[in-house]
Amino acid sequence: MAAVIASIEGSAEEVASDATPLTELSTADATRGWEAVGRIDMGRGSFCTGALITPQLVLTAAHCLYNSDTGEQISVEGIQFRAGWRNGRAEAYRGVRRAVAHPDYDYAAPRQISRVAHDLALLELDRPIRSGRISPFETSYDLTTGSEVGIVSYAEHRSEAPSLQEICHVLERFGGVVMVSCSVDFGSSGAPVFQVRDGVARIVSVVSSKAEARGEPVALAGELQPSLDQLREALDHAPDTILNRGSGGRLGGNSNRLSAKFVRP
């Protein structure tokens, strides 16, 4: 991932051991149904993962919009979304017209669990993606501890094709933060966490950080409610080709209840 690694010390009662391994979606058949997940190239040799939720909106992580070396915002002119990127080709290529981070996200804030809850962003593409092969994902707020979820992501050493972890689990939830037993790595930031019901995959959260719980790899993700509505409102008021700064607000209450400690990669 682009900016942070979290180390969680005994914060989960038990890390789920029945998560399925990552499967590379390297063929057209394997990728079918997941083409709306894409690689977001940031124009500086780095990338994140994102997913279409409408023909023109991509959901990803807010920290992807910042240069990890300087902390400066990345110009949208340098960002490209590659839907269904696989083995050197994408189903669609789009530039970005506008990008907004969650209004309460503050990239310069200390690396705390509370920041994960606001680590979401929307990209408005320069043109909608309208293709019979690419269907934007629905979103859902129906998420509980113990829920079975899955993840599709790009990452370091698997940047040329997405990988699917079909089954992992929600281990903990607090203050808009979800800890899941999914395997992520650098580049997985912004990856959609899915829940499949009645054969339909819906996005329920977005990967923020790589983490560890009792020696097992996990991920920290931000919940969509109420963040997604707040992001849509921020986008409605954002001028073209301007990345909003966010207000740097903080969550109330005990923001470190998940016992997380952030360290630099």
Question: By C-alpha distance, which of 173, 172, 147, 133 is closest to 52?
Answer: 133
Beta partners for residue 243, in sequence order = 99
Angstrom distance (rounded) from CA 27 to CA 41: 21
Six-digit token string for 122: 């929307």
How is the chain classified by DSSP, letter by letter? --S-EEEE-S-SS---S-PPPPEE--SHHHHTT-TTEEEEE-SSS-EEEEEEEETTEEEE-GGGGB-TTT-PBPPGGG-EEEET-BTTB-SEEEEEEEEEE-TT--TTS---HHHHHT--EEEEESS---BTTB-PPEE-----TT-EEEEEEEETTEEEEEEEEEEEEEEEEETTEEEE-----TT-TTPEEEEEETTEEEEEEEEEEEEEETTEEEEEEEE-TTHHHHHHHHHHTPPTT-B---------S-TTTT-EEEE--
> What pLDDT is stored for residue 211 in this prediction?
80
> What pLDDT is stored for residue 113 in this prediction?
75
- Summarize pLDDT for 132-160 with one digit per residue, the tens: 999 999 999 988 999 999 999 999 889 99
Backbone angles phi, psi at 28, to 5 degrees: -60, -40
- Summarize pLDDT for 205-216 with one digit per residue, the tens: 999 998 878 878
Six-digit token string for 216: 């097992």
> What pLDDT is stored for residue 14 in this prediction?
52
b/e map of 115-152 (b: 16 or more CB within 10 Å)? bbbbbbbbbbbbeebeeeebebbebbeebeeebebbbb
- Summarize pLDDT for 4-52 with one digit per residue, the tens: 334 444 444 555 556 899 999 999 999 999 999 999 999 777 899 999 9
What does DSSP say about strands 192-197 and 158-174: parallel, antiparallel, or unpaired?
unpaired
- Summarize pLDDT for 113-123 with one digit per residue, the tens: 778 999 999 99
What does DSSP say about strands 57-60 and 121-125: parallel, antiparallel, or unpaired?
antiparallel
